[in-house]
Each structure stands twice: as structure tokens, then as C-alpha cells.
Structure 1
Amino acid sequence: MKQSLQLRTSQHLALTPQLQQSIRLLQLSTLELHQELETLLTDNPMLERVDDPLDHAVRLLADGAINTSSTSADAGMEAPAARDDSDKSAEPAPADAETVISNDSTTSSEEDWGFDDVQHGSKSGDDEDGRPQLGAAHITLREHLLEQMRLNLREPRDRALVELMIDALDNNGYLTETLDEIHASLPLELYVEPEELAFALNMLQSFDPAGVGARSPSECLALQIRRMPKVAFVTRRLALQIVETQLALFAQRDFTKLKKILDCDDEDLRDAQTIIRLCQPRPGIAFAADESDYVVPDVIVRKSDNGWQVMLNQDVMPRLRVSSMYANIMKQNRGEAGLGTQLQEARWLIKNMRQRFETILRVAQAIVERQRNFFTHGAVAMRPLVLREIADTLGLHESTISRVTTQKYMLTPHGMFELKYFFGSHVATETGGEASSTAIRALIKQLIGAEDQKSPLSDSKIADMLGEQGMVIARRTVAKYREALKIPPVSLRKSL
């Protein structure tokens, strides 16, 4: 077979760097977008951010007083003035490069409030100066227990053993090792007796919070019940008997079997159940340092005279422009290739950022147009919706709609929802129509919320009740939706 060289021409699609950046920016969440933007601002001197994220932050002087000087003046980031059309010969950036990314819709002005008003306002006689009050440092469970140990124990040996027990606790306040394991890990030359470890454990279990140092949930609940004040002797004894010997049956809510084993009536068991529910199964959780995650909406939906209005959240929209200083430098040095490349990248970023927010707004408007019943009546009125329906309406690809609706949030009168929340499968009805799975989950939640707790609804009963409303749904589908709503089964919802 003879080898030869041939020239062929063909057409194919290629992802340009500008298109790749546009796709990447579209799929980023708000937090990821601002992190990406900070990196780009650091790498590209031609790019400039008009809005300072720290404009409204508290700035402290060396003596702790509040700095009232203008942050924008210090940073040299004044708001861009209107573009002068008289100087058309200048070539710092095209018209679209200096245009600030913003929403065309009008927004309400911010409240006239600042830290200056707080500093110059009236002060009570107890205030020594205008310095801000800083929050107290977070106290961990270990620090809380060590402080009690120093107040209750004087002997160094006893303190060392109790501190050893404290170090063996987990974040929930449970002792993760047995006394035998702790004793085996100690050096023999310390001559620690098992009775000393038992004393240290008893001392630890007497500390606050009640239940700390327990080795099992049963022991944790029992420690708390013994320390509860103003509890009747019969009720306390029955509650201790339940948590120490019949905790599994109590968790399964098998009250009939419990009454037979404990030889008690409904009233006594109800009183004991009330006492047990006052206990904290994880006593160390109050000292956890977990921080809450907050979601900032990308779009906001409000009711107006003309219907439902969709607008972009101005707080998450960065305002960008091409730096005039570096643009003038490039004008004076036209042969500088590096600045020319960075100028083009800055133009691309500004254009792609504007396109990102415009696409999010278009998709949000299309969703609101098709889910008007949801915004008026709630989740029970949600209609079935798929990505292709929005894609065909806007002339976009389904993958683009999927990127837009992922990790993008909408603030509505009914709460905060991810844009994907408004899409869902459907269930056929007896009349030949369709019902959204979201609406069915809302109906299931309503039915369970209104049920009699002494005789809760089973999944089969819920399926029958939905069938009476014309929705053909199987029992296993009800169970799947109930588990998605994190609602326990019928046996765990039953009460006395």
C-alpha cells in the first residue's frame, strides 16, 4: 500500500476561548463567579471593578475606633463618569468595554443608614466611647469542661485523669473509648487503678451539660433524667426504665407492647414520653462551631400591578470596566502586544458577564410565565415543566438551560428556590391531564400535616386519597415522595 499526502477541506465547529469562557461563567454559582472574578482581576491589569465589595464594611483604626473616611477615595475606585463622546479619537476601549454591567430594570434606593449615624447618634450614659463591641470568642466543649474541672478538683492527679476523659470525648459529648481501653493505653509506671478512672468518669458526668461523658444514648438520656428537677417519682422511674431497658421499642413507637411490658396506662406513658423528649441526645452539639450556609438569590420575583415582575439581584452583579490608566498606557505604546491581549480578554469578560446575567434573566422570566399558578397559590399548583420547553421558547439548547438553572436561586414570596425546583416529572390523572410531582409532594405533606397523630395515614391510604382527587399514583411512589420530604413512616408518626 503506497503512502501519499493529500489536502482536504472540511468545516467543523470549534470552541473559541471566548465561547469557552462564556460557557464556564454560565455554569458557575454566584460564590464561584466572584471567586473566579477575583482571580481574573488579579491576573489582568486592564480589568477594573467599579463596585467595592467592602464599601459597606466596618473599617477600624489602630485605636479601635470606626474609620469614617470614604473607602472609595482610599481605594481610588470612583464611580465611572458618563462617557465623553467629544473625544472619539481615543482608543482605550470600545463602547461595550466601558459599559458597566448592570440590570436595565429600576431598583429601589438603599436606606439612608450608615455607621456614621451610629457613631454620631445619641449614646447612653453607660457608653464609655464609640468603639464597636466585638463578639465573644467561641467556647468549645473541651474548654467548657476544663473550666468546671478547675473549679471542682484540686488534686493534680484527679485533674489529669478527668482531662484524660475529656480528651476522649467526641463532638457530641460521648466517651468514644471504654474504661478498659483507656486503662490499657496508660503507662504502667503511673500506677492508675480502674477505680480511679471510674471516679474520673463519674466526676465528668456530673459536669454541665447534662449527659456529657455518656457511653451510649441510653446512658446519656438516663443521666439527664436523673438531674431533671421537679419530676414526679413515678414518672422519673418509668422514664428511666424506658431509656435503660426499652429504648428500641420506644423509638419504634410500639406503645401497646411498652404498656404491656411496663404495666402502665396511657397517662403514665405519656408523662414519661414528655420527660424523655426534653432530653438532648447529643449534649455537646450546643458547643459545635458549625457555620450556617447562606444562599444569595440571583433573581427576585415580586408582585406588581401588571403581574409578576422578575428582576436581577443587583447585589450579586459585579460592575466591571476597562482601566482607563492602562488603556492610556497602551495608547501611548501601540506596539505593546501584551497589553493588547489583556485588553481583548477584558472586553470578552465584560461581554460574557453581561450575557450571563441576561440569559439568567430570560430563563427566569420564562419559568415565571409558565409557573404563574405556583406564585399565586403555592406548590400545590405547580405544573409539569421540562428543560426542552424552556429551551424551545428561548431558542437555546437544553444544556444551556441546565447550566443556567444549576446553583442559581430565585427569591419568591413563597421562599428561596433553586431554578431547577420548578422543573419536574408528571403523573397522569384520570381526566387525561398531568400533575406535577412537586404538587403531589406538597399534597402529601398537607395530608400528613392534617392527619390524626393517634391514627396516622399509611402510604396506601394516602395513595387512595390522591386517587379520589383524580391522581393515579402507586403506593411505592407515595413512599418515595414521602422519603424525599424526610417524613418518617406511619409507625414512627404514631403518638399516644
Structure 2
Amino acid sequence: MAFGQGLRQVQKQQLKLLPQQIQLMKLLQIPTANLEERIKEEIEENPALEMGEEHDGQEDTDLSTQDSIDDYEYEPADSVAEDSSMADDGPDMAEFGSVDQPEWDPEDDIPDYQTRDINYGEGEETTPTPIKVESNLYDLLIGQLAMLELDERRRKVAEQIVGSIDEDGYLRREIASIVDDLAFRQNVQTSDEEVELLLSQIQKLFDPAGVGARNLQECLLLQLQRLRSEGKDVQLALNAVKDYFEEFTKKHYEKIQRGLGIDEAKLREVMNQLIRLNPKPGGVVSTINKAETYVIPDFFIENINGKLELTLNNRNAPELRISSDYRDMLREYERGSKKNKQQKDAVMFIKQKIDAAKWFIDIIKQRHETLYNSMYAIMMHQQEFFLTGDETTLRPMILKDVAEVTGLDISTVSRVANSKFVQTEFGTYRLKFFFSESLSTESGEEVSTREVKKILSDMVEGEDKRKPLSDDQLTDMLKEKGYNIARRTVAKYREQLNVPVARLRKEL
């Protein structure tokens, strides 16, 4: 049976977002710290947009030029250049920002805005923006290569080893892979033995101690050997890591004590030596860099005589306006006597840029309003916390709760809460911190899971570390406080709090 081709109509619904909506969603996700950079990018792309407050008395009607554009008439063909290059020089109306400025007719009068002096005074001083320079582990290790007396070929081998060390300070690549990389990418011939020798020198001499280790056991041994070379008595700790590493990781202290033949006091001394070692030697460098960083809050909440006051951080959001030069361009074109195709294209180009600038200004204002309304709804929902700072007063709240109050879509609220911070008198918090599911108590009251996690964390902190609380004991204690919760839920909350199981929390 043969089937022929045919046409048929199909009716379906499809959701399409306007470019303005897409741009707004992108701007909502940008934190305040990065907003200024995004605005500067837009200013560079659109010369009709510039920083500064709008002048008083400036009417938006000055920007409405559609009527004047429609009034333009084309001149007769003999007065307009019929060169085919005119079509190439004309503006591309499909995309903003892809249009070049039209060339001026030499016979036309030069508008006064082109001859205006826009140079800044020589006396103006510009303050350079300080840029934070961070050092990384690779730079630190490369700077220490001078301690090794190496020729050019061996230096390349050492640099390859250093480049293979990850941010934690571990060398997780196989020696054979490093040899192959040197042979195929740098045409440097070496051997496994030579790479091993250079690696041992890096492990022995370079800081931080333990760098270049291939696993945790080797990392701890390298640090203990460095301490022994400095005259410290760490032989028992070395034996413990070398011979009883698995027992050490599982905190089977009795087996270690019997194997080393020491008493409990000596075992405690050995364990104290081991817990002072750094399992991630490369993390020392990143920790220093993180200590120098700071968070720029998007919101500020102040408690003024028991009344909360919310303000939006606009420090990195400068005032925007339409360029006065582009306003003057429109006036000059409107007053022009010759209205040829080139002038009409130029007006269309200027109108495009001005419309894009107005649209971007409106989007920035809409961003501010959306952020403020969303944060205000969060503040009122969690009012008790912002007044007291007590985490147990946090109420259950999900994205839908904020969306219903503000009239926004849930996805919009999610974008607002993403990567945003609020500064309070009790500290700076991520907006995600205030969202949590609900949990029913024995009395039927709904409480925030954040409250339960806080109580669970306090229980773990107050436990006897020699006899840490098991998940069953924690569950029973929570039930005694009225929280109807299952053991598996307690285990889930404990993992979310990065609290290990009871056996791994045990101390001597």
C-alpha cells in the first residue's frame, strides 16, 4: 500500500520568551559584585548608553523619532548615488549593534556635535582600581625549582611533574603518563626512574611539606619525615602510619595500641601528632587566598528600634542615562533640509541604539524592583530570625511561598535566591539559607528542618567525644524534644551537616 505526501494543519501551544524576559532572567542571576562589569559591557556595545543621572526636564518625547522617520521622502534617482555599494553601507536592521555609522556626504553641513570638544581636563586624576594578586600552588612550586641543580632537559621534566600536581598537593597521575607526555608533547626523553628521583627531591625539599604525595598515607609519612629531620620525636607516629594506617583511618585505637605496645597516654600523644598533620598540603595556599576574599552583600537589613529596614546594595549599579550626543544627533537630522536614503538609515540606526539603551535601563530598574520585593517577602516571613539571630526561629519556607506573596514565578524567585547574600547584624547569609522544608512535631506544629539541624548540631557538639552519640541515640533525644523524626532522616541530616558517624567522632 503506497502513501503519498500531503499537507495538514496542526494546532499547538508553544511558550516563547521575549528577548527582554531572557535578558531580565540573566541579570537576576548576576550578583551585585558582577553587575557593574555587565553594565560596562553594555555601555561599550551601545554608545547611546552612558553613566550618569538623567537631566531634569528631559522629555522622553525627544527620543520618539518614528514620525520624523516616516516623513522622510526619497529624492529622485538622479540625485541619489546609484552605486551598488550603498546597499552594503546601509545598516543591518536585523540585530542591534551590527550597524556601522553611515558615511557623511561632503556637501552636507557638519553638525555642531561633531566639532564639540569632549576632552577631559588635564587636571583630572583617575584613581586606579586595586587588583588583588593571588598566588597558587603551581607558582609556589615553580619558584622553588631553583633549589634543584638541573640542566635544561631535567628542568623540563621537573616542571612537568610540578604541573601534574593538583590543587590539593597530590600527584595523582601515573609516572608512566608523565614520561609519555614529555616524549610526545615536548620531545623530551626520560625514564620512570628519573621521574621518580626528581619527584623524591621535590617531596623532600619543597614546601608545603607533603606536596607531591600520591596518596594520603604517603602524604602523612612525608610530613612526619620532615618533622624527624627537624629533630622532633615522631618515630612512633611514623610506625603507626606505616604499619597501622587502615586502623588509624577507621579509628581502631585499641589495635594500634596493642600493635605498638604502648599505654593509653602514649597513644594519645601519638594521635595528637597525627591529627596536627595536613591531609591536603596544597590547601594551605588556597586557604590563604580565601582568607583575603570577601563577600559583597546584595541586601542590607537593619534593626532600628525593633523595626526591620531593608535596603538594596546599589554601590555597583551606577545610574544610567541616554547619551546627550545621540539626542543632539536626532535634532540635527530632524532640522536637516536634505532627506535622502543615507540620512534615513542614519536616523534608523540612532533610533535602534536609543531604544536599546532605554530598554536596558528599564531592565535594570525592573531587576532592582524584583530583587527588593523578593527579599522583602523573605524578610517578613523570617522576621523573628532577623530580629533575634536565633536559627531555631526560622520558619519553613520554600520558593513557592515567596512566589505567592510577590506574584513572581517560582523560577524567577529561584534566580533571585541564587548566589545572593544579605548582610544582617548577626552576619552575612546566602539567601538559600532561609529556605527549608517543614517537619511536623508531635503536637502537629510545622517547624523548619533548619531548626532540627541546628538542634542536631548542638547535640553533637555537646556530646562526650569518648562516647559519641549514635544515630539511634540522636533520634531518641530528638523525639524526647517533640520532633517526630525517623532514624534514616537523622542520618541524612547528619550527612548534610558533614558530621561523620559516631565511630569516626570518637576521641581518646
Q: What is the TM-score with the length of structure 1 in the denominator?
A: 0.71
Map of 1:58 onto structure 2: none
AA of the residue aligned to 1:420: K
Matches within 5 A, 1:318-329: 318-329=318-329
Aligned 8 A contact 1:22 1:356 in 2: yes
Map of 2:495 onto structure 1: 483
Q: Give the match's secondary structure for 1:260.
A: helix
Matches within 5 A, 1:236-255: 236-255=234-253
Distance verdict in 2 for CA 1:166–1:267, change over 3 Å: farther
AA of the residue aligned to 2:27: L
Q: CA deviation at 1:40?
A: 2.2
Question: Deviations for 1:141-198, whole angstroms, at most 9, x for unmatched residues?
Answer: 4324312114xxxxx67x96587356324135555567788899999x999895x777
AA of the residue aligned to 2:50: E
Aligned 8 A contact 2:221 2:238 in 1: yes
Map of 1:264 onto structure 2: 262
Distance verdict in 2 for CA 1:271–1:161, change over 3 Å: farther
Question: Deviations for 1:222-243, whole angstroms, at most 9, x for unmatched residues?
Answer: 232233269998x622211111
What percent identity do the matched residue pairs reach?
31
Map of 1:275 onto structure 2: 273
Matches within 5 A, 1:84-163: 85=57, 91-92=62-63, 140-150=139-149
Equivalent position to 1:348, from 354, 359, 363: 359
Q: Give the match's secondary structure for 1:91.
A: helix
Distance verdict in 2 for CA 1:285–1:378, change over 3 Å: same
Aligned 8 A contact 1:430 1:470 in 2: yes
Aligned 8 A contact 1:168 1:176 in 2: no
Q: CA deviation at 1:28?
A: 3.9
Which of 172-181 and 373-382 deviates more? 172-181
AA of the residue aligned to 2:415: R
Map of 1:373 onto structure 2: 384
Q: Aligned residue pairs: how many?
A: 418
Aligned 8 A contact 2:135 2:285 in 1: no
Q: Give the match's secondary structure for 1:253.
A: coil
Map of 2:113 onto structure 1: none
Distance verdict in 2 for CA 1:420–1:193, change over 3 Å: closer
> C-alpha separation between the residues in 2 aligned to 1:202 and 1:27?
47
Distance verdict in 2 for CA 1:33–1:200, change over 3 Å: closer
Aligned 8 A contact 2:442 2:482 in 1: yes
Q: CA deviation at 1:199?
A: 6.0
> C-alpha separation between the residues in 2 aligned to 1:203 and 1:262?
30
Larger radius of gyration: 2
Q: Structure 2: 5+ residue runs without aligned partners?
A: 1-5, 66-124, 335-343
Distance verdict in 2 for CA 1:222–1:391, change over 3 Å: closer
Aligned 8 A contact 1:165 1:175 in 2: no
Map of 1:60 onto structure 2: none
Q: CA deviation at 1:346?
A: 1.7
Q: CA deviation at 1:327?
A: 1.1
Q: CA deviation at 1:294?
A: 4.8
> C-alpha separation between the residues in 2 aligned to 1:359 and 1:191?
61
Aligned 8 A contact 1:92 1:324 in 2: no
Tell me whether 1:446 sits opposite 2:455 in the alignment: no
Map of 1:495 onto structure 2: 507
Q: CA deviation at 1:304?
A: 0.8
> C-alpha separation between the residues in 2 aligned to 1:353 and 1:182?
51
**What RMSD over aligned residues (CA atoms) do the two structures have, in Å?**
4.2
Q: CA deviation at 1:253?
A: 1.2
Aligned 8 A contact 1:302 1:309 in 2: yes
Distance verdict in 2 for CA 1:353–1:184, change over 3 Å: closer
Q: Give the match's secondary structure for 1:407.
A: coil
AA of the residue aligned to 1:358: E
Map of 1:311 onto structure 2: 311
> C-alpha separation between the residues in 1 aligned to 2:157 and 2:7?
81
Q: Structure 1: 5+ residue runs without aligned partners?
A: 51-79, 95-115, 119-131, 151-155
> C-alpha separation between the residues in 2 aligned to 1:357 and 1:223?
54
Tell me whether 1:43 sits opposite 2:45 in the alignment: yes
Equivalent position to 1:358, from 369, 374, 394: 369
